[in-house]
Structure 1
Amino acid sequence: MAHHSSALRVLPLWIVLAASMPAGFFSLKSPSCHEVKTAFQQRQIGLLKWVPDVPGTAEEDLSICQHKEPTCCTRKMEDSYQLAVRRETIEKIQALSMEIKYHIAKNAQSFQDAFQSLIQFAKNHTTSLFETAYRAMAHEATGPTAEFFTDISLYIFGSNGSVEAAVQHFYNNIFPSVYNRLLNPGITQLSMEFTECLRMTRPSVNPFGPHSQALAQNLSRSLNAARSLSEALSLGMEVINITEHVSFTRDCIQGLVKMHYCSHCQGLTLIKPCANYCLNIVQGCFMGLTELDQPWRDYIFSLKEVTNVMAGAHDLEFDLLGIQSQMNDSIFYALQNGPRITATVNKVCGAPAETDTYLPTESLAAHVTTPTGKPLAPSGELSQKRRSLPLKTFKSDKPRSLKKISREFMSHMQRFKAFYSTLPKAYCEGDLVGDSSTCWDGEDVVESYTDRTVDIGFDTQKPNHETKVKVQDHLLNKVKEKLQHFNQVIQGKEIQKVSEKLGGSGSGQKSLEASGDCDDEDGCFGSGEAEIVSNRNTNKLNGKTTIDEPVKTRGSGTSTKVATSTTKPRSVNNKGTCACATSFQLILLFLLVLSWNLS
């Protein structure tokens, strides 16, 4: 009975002692490596035969997990641990960046669909203009119209060229149809040489007045913003992809192995790293990634600037849907200035082969109709009716609002502004680190990690004893430079110049169209009078040389330049181009201009 009573008194003491042992104490003293083998198998680290059944003395073969006591690790296990931590760290980063990648990819597709829908809608809107109001040239305008909208679509998504070049190319291509079908409908068919001359001389003849240049300027601002957004989203996806496949140094991998798996070598498969110890390891390993923090913050700000411009100050939807109205204004300008345009064309390209006559403006009403099918009013009433032509749009036809897409996209992206600065902390949160009274510090089980915790950044890593910071990843450096360049362009330049800096937006053709409306006081011819544009000194036109000659305008004392020919009379050369007008025609035109001025 006394012996039994003594045993009862001893039992509580062992319970107290057992409760005071550190976590994993019994597994540490276990003569078996069964738990280590189980963890090795569950995490698919390597072959089970590499794990010994009982602890051994393989310390001399280990380069990372060295410990004085018997170990359950071998050199092959250590090599497998290095591959495992590389894979697991990449998977962790991918999990943390998955939401950003999802929003960028999803909204890139949403923006692309919206751009394409808007462009298709604007194309249909513009095509209907020719089919209802200018049926005489509708068939011939189909090709140039489709090509124009294809050009601006490709421009948004990064193709070479410029908006102005696309606009000027469109007007060059439709000018022969406007000249033949609307201004001179008596001509049955233009020769190829005469048609080519019309295209090449369109910028100088300026049949569409200031409207073609106005269209180019309006579209350039909004399309440049859309192009910049497209480039920004591609850049953002590139940054995330490089982040998800970042390379790690040898020292970093060894530090991660010490943090994650060296405890297994002692049989401690359930102990977790200390939180601050994890931060020091990961901040050293992620040093290249955290260097992207400020460029990434600036990138989010730049995204907001671009979306605000595209869906705000230079509304892409408004500008695309306004193409029809501006093209209509261009053609009305040509109709109102038919005699001047025909006279100028006859001077530069010669008269068409079939006839050198044209129908007066009053006769054009039979060839130009409103969407209702009624003939347009002649002469002065044209300008009063031109605003009635844009077709009514229906709500069901409109694509999803760019403003709504932009607002939703930026609300998501703003949440990830500090993604790179918080990446080490996010990595070490959750089930990875211990929240109990003991944790793993890379060498042993401790109550707390006592070393100093460093901040993010290259310069702050010097006191970090857990990992050695070496040369940064060259891919991270490259993408960092891309981010910085993009941010400098967006934040340092006007938004309409963004694509010129990033992708190359060439300068288009220059003519009087760039100057807008022009009157007698500016030294230009009035409405209905000859208006010819030529550069100062000597210009090349269709292979012929022209020289500027000043002509006095009525009451202004200024001169307007008229290009006169110094070479051969009108003929078709062996290259198929149309030669200049004869000297006789030039003299008649010159006398006609003088008579207009004197009257």
Structure 2
Amino acid sequence: MEHKLSTQSRQEFDRIMVDKLSVLRNTFISRTAKFDAFFTELLDNAKRDLHEMFVRTYGLLYQQNSHVFTDLFNDLRSYYKGRDLNLLDTLDGFFVTLLQKMFLLLNAQYTFDDKYMQCVAEHMDQLKPFGDVPKKLAAHVKRAFIAARTFVQGLSIGRDVIIAISKVGPSQSCSRAFMKMMYCPYCRSLPATKPCNNFCMNVMKGCLASQADLNTDWNNYIGALLKLATRLEGPFNIESVVDPIDVQISDAIMNYQENSEAVSNKVFQGCGQPQMSRNKRSASSQPSQGSSSRSSRGPYEYDWKFSQKPYVRPTTAYGTSLDRLVRDIRQKVVVSKDFWKSMSHSVCNGIAAPLVDVTNCWNGLGKSRYLPEVMADGAMNQLSNPEVDVDIRRPNFVANQQILRLKLITNKLNNAHNGLDVDWIDTSDGKEDMEEDDVSGSGSGSGSGDGYKVVDPDLSFTQPTRKPVVVRTHTPPRGEYPREDRPYSSAPSAHVQSTLPLVTILLLASVLAATGHMTS
């Protein structure tokens, strides 16, 4: 009989713990999944928006080089998913590659090798072909991505802590005390008598001593999570950075187009005068830059007169906006402060007699007042617990492990709030612990150095500070870039339609045929 009651009381204890943890557990599981899905869809939308705009704006010129932009979005996604990337280097590498591609297109009448293009790349900081767009975009992307990645990992750590603690069973002493509190009244013919509230409190404070020790670090964690959430709603808003990234990159391209002659002249002075290409088109075969008739347009010219009406891009992903999503998360997690310390009260409010009923309750011996004082929270305060023996010399390993995880993620959340770099935490072990029902959620040149006169870069440039950059000469096969028949979420921005110089498009179209030797 005693063994049967012990088993039944253990099952009852586990059921109560699952019931008390389920709401908080499901909140962190669902919000982690929802934020992750939102961010992933936000990146997908931005990638499709850029492709749609650039296909309409730059046509085949973009399609032949779309892998440059795809690589950027792939790197951003990889960083968010935990890859060890330096975001500033990633954005810098993207604009270096973009500079090289555009320099070749805008100077297609010349022949360049990899060494020459490396010289171009090494001096991008002095050339500033894209204006201040790369610097501003890199700064915004870095702080927003760090904040978003750390925030979602903060949520996942909270989720994993709750899941781990929910699997901690009662000690033998706790099981005996719980059985005495819940089932011994039956032996005294008092089946309807509930435990005295203070009696229940001492039992549960002893049983949940290790869980209560999480409370301080949990509160610090929740505070850091909420602080970072305010950044996501303000200056570190990832939606305001990712959503218009196509327009910002197009602005950078236009900056270079408008200053391409000055940039090329400075490159020729610093890196050497290149040799004219043998396949150079004659000037008479190029369309007049002053002509605006459709007959003078290149075969890939985008005709603004027949463009579609500006399409207003959706401002949401995953059926919500970042502000609403973060606001919802804040409202859900803020109520979990002091959760671990209040568990004893929460349990006893459900199974024990009311506080005012101090005599008509079970005190462990009979139907009478419970006299011992109620212990404070935490393992160190249970030395004198009259109901549960807590061995403070043998701390709970699982609880201590979760305390260390909370301390670590709290520090990273605070660093992200301050705009500092944050390393990724490997949470694969935590994910493996989740049950199934927890988931709710790279040349155009020969490389010989022939064809141009090498000059001392210091004649026109200061000594470069960049590391050598290898020219990307890979041309993707047909079908590598996103298909044009795929549904997209937006069309070109009206800003780009109204500001892109027509003469530049004509220039790009006119030199396209001269680039065959580079792409063949």
What's the counterpart of residue 377 of structure 2? 456
1:340-351 correspondence runs (5 A): 340-343=262-265, 348=271, 351=274
CA 1:295–1:147: 2 relative to 1, 3 Å: same
TM superposition shift of 1:163 = 2.1
Partner deviation per Cα, 1:163-186 (whole Å, 9 max, x = no partner): 2233123223333321223x2244
Q: Is the 8 A contact 1:133 1:368 kept in 2?
A: no
How far has the Cα of 1:225 moved from its partner?
1.1
2:92 paired residue number = 168
Q: Is 1:534 matched with 2:457?
A: no
Change (3 A) 1:343 1:91: farther
- 1:484 pairs with 2:407: yes
Cα deviation, residue 261, structure 1: 2.9
2:95/2:134 contact within 8 Å kept:
yes
Rg comparison, structure with higher value:
1
- Contact persistence 1:263–1:440 (CA under 8 A): yes
Give, in whole Å, the separation in 1 of the partners of 2:367 and 2:421: 56
Are the aligned partners of 2:193 and 2:361 in contact in 1 as well (CA < 8 Å)?
A: yes
Q: Give, in angstroms, the shift of residue 410 of structure 1.
A: 1.3
| Residue aligning to 2:485 | none
Partner of 2:107: 184
Distance 1:301 1:208 in 2: 41
1:400 alignment partner AA: T
State the AA in 1 paired with 2:41. S
Q: Using the alignment, how far apart are the partners of 2:139 and 2:88 within structure 1?
A: 7
Q: Which residue of 2 aligns with 1:124?
A: 48
SS state at 2:194 partner? coil
Matched, 1:316 2:238: yes
Classify 1:449/1:323 alpha carbon distance in 2 versus 1 (closer, same or farther; 3 Å): same
Name the amino acid aligned to 2:107: N
Seen in structure 2, the aligned counterparts of structure 1 residues 219 and 448 have a Cα distance that, compared at 3 Å, is same
Is this contact kept in 2: 1:130–1:141, CA < 8 A?
A: no
Q: Closer, same or farther in 2 for the Cα pair 1:368/1:499, shift >3 Å? A: farther
Per-residue deviation at 1:128?
Answer: 3.2
Q: Does 2:341 correspond to 1:421?
A: yes
User: How far apart, in 2, do the equivalents of 1:542 and 1:414 lie?
Assistant: 48
Alpha-carbon separation, structure 1, partners of 2:301 and 2:219: 53
* Aligned-partner SS, 1:89: helix
Q: Matched residues in 2 for 1:84 and 1:352: separation?
A: 89
Give, in whole Å, the separation in 2 of the partners of 1:278 and 1:373.
Answer: 77
Letter of the 2:179 counterpart: V
Q: 2-side partners of 1:123 and 1:208: how far apart? A: 21
- Secondary structure of the equivalent of 2:390? coil
Which residue of the other structure, out of 393, 396, 401, is the alignment partner of 2:312? 393
Q: Does 1:287 align with 2:217?
A: no
Q: Partners of 1:300 and 1:245 in 2: how far apart?
A: 22
Contact 2:58 2:302 in 1 (8 A): no
Deviation (angstroms), 1:194? 6.6
* Residue of structure 2 aligned with 1:445, choices 366, 372, 375: 366
Unpaired runs of 5+ in structure 1? 1-72, 376-389, 504-524, 544-599
Given candidates 187, 193, 199, the residue that maps to 1:277 is 199
Q: Identify the match of residue 332 of structure 2 among 395, 404, 412.
A: 412
Following superposition, the deviation at residue 403 of structure 1 comes to 0.5
User: Helix, strand or coil for the counterpart of 1:452?
Assistant: coil
Q: How far off is 1:411 after superposition?
A: 1.4
Matched, 1:231 2:153: yes
1:81-108 deviation digits (Å, cap 9, x = unpaired):
4443333222212211211122222222
State the AA in 2 paired with 1:404: R
Corresponding residue number in structure 1 for 2:223: 301
How far is the alpha carbon of 1:196 from its aligned partner? 7.2
Paired position in structure 2 for 1:373? 304
Contact 1:223 1:316 in 2 (8 A): yes
DSSP-derived class of the 1:327 partner: helix
Give distance in 1, aligned partners of 2:103 and 2:311.
28
Tell me, in whole angstroms, the C-alpha distance in 2 between the residues paired with 1:436 and 1:256.
Answer: 19
Aligned partner of residue 463 in structure 1, secondary structure: coil
* Pairwise CA distance, 1:207: 3.7
Q: Number of residue pairs matched?
A: 423
Distance 1:120 1:418 in 2: 38
Q: Does the 8 A contact of 1:280 with 1:464 survive in 2?
A: yes
Distance 1:137 1:278 in 2: 75
Tell me: CA distance 1:339–1:121, structure 2 relative to 1, closer, same or farther (3 Å).
Answer: same
Q: Which amino acid aligns with 1:411?
A: Q
Contact kept in structure 2, 1:225 and 1:498, CA below 8 Å: no
SS at match of 1:468: coil
| Equivalent position SS for 1:465 | coil
Counterpart residue type for residue 534 of structure 1:
P
Instruction: Answer yes or no: is the 8 Å Cα contact 1:164–1:220 preserved in 2.
Output: yes
- Contact kept? 1:132, 1:373, Cα under 8 Å: no
For 1:281, what is the secondary structure of its paired residue? helix
Return the alpha-carbon distance in structure 1 between the equivalents of residues 299 and 344 of structure 2: 69
Q: Deviations over 1:502-522 (max 9, x none)?
A: 68xxxxxxxxxxxxxxxxxxx
Asked if structure 2 preserves the Cα contact closer than 8 Å seen for 1:158 and 1:231, the reply is no
**Cα distance change on mapping 1:305 and 1:397 into 2, 3 Å:** closer
Deviation at 1:226, TM superposition (A): 0.6
Q: TM-score, normalised by structure 1?
A: 0.62
Are 1:259 and 2:189 matched, yes or no?
no
Q: Given that residues 136 and 368 in structure 1 are in contact (C-alpha distance below 8 angstroms), is that contact kept between their aligned partners in structure 2? A: no
Give the 3-state SS of the residue equivalent to 2:312 in structure 1. Answer: coil
Cα-to-partner distance string for 1:42-90 (whole Å, 9 max, x where unaligned): xxxxxxxxxxxxxxxxxxxxxxxxxxxxxxx4xxx33x44443333222
For residues 216 and 263 of structure 2, the distance between their equivalents in structure 1, rounded to whole angstroms, comes to 58
**Percent same amino acid among aligned pairs?**
19
C-alpha distance in structure 2 between counterparts of 1:426 and 1:277, whole Å: 14
Q: How much has 1:438 moved relative to structure 2?
A: 3.1
What displacement does 1:295 show? 1.6
For residues 470-497 of structure 1, what are the alpha-carbon distances to aligned partners after superposition, in whole Å with 9 as ceiling and x for unaligned? 2321121121122123223434674321
Deviations, residues 527-576 of structure 1 (Å, cap 9, x unaligned): xx9555513xxx87479xxxxxxxxxxxxxxxxxxxxxxxxxxxxxxxxx
Distance 1:135 1:349 in 2: 32
Q: Which amino acid aligns with 1:467?
A: V
Higher relative contact order (CA 8 A, sep 6+): 2
Query: Is 1:137–1:177's contact at 8 Å kept on the other side of the alignment?
Result: no
SS at match of 1:313: coil
Is 2:325 the counterpart of 1:402? no
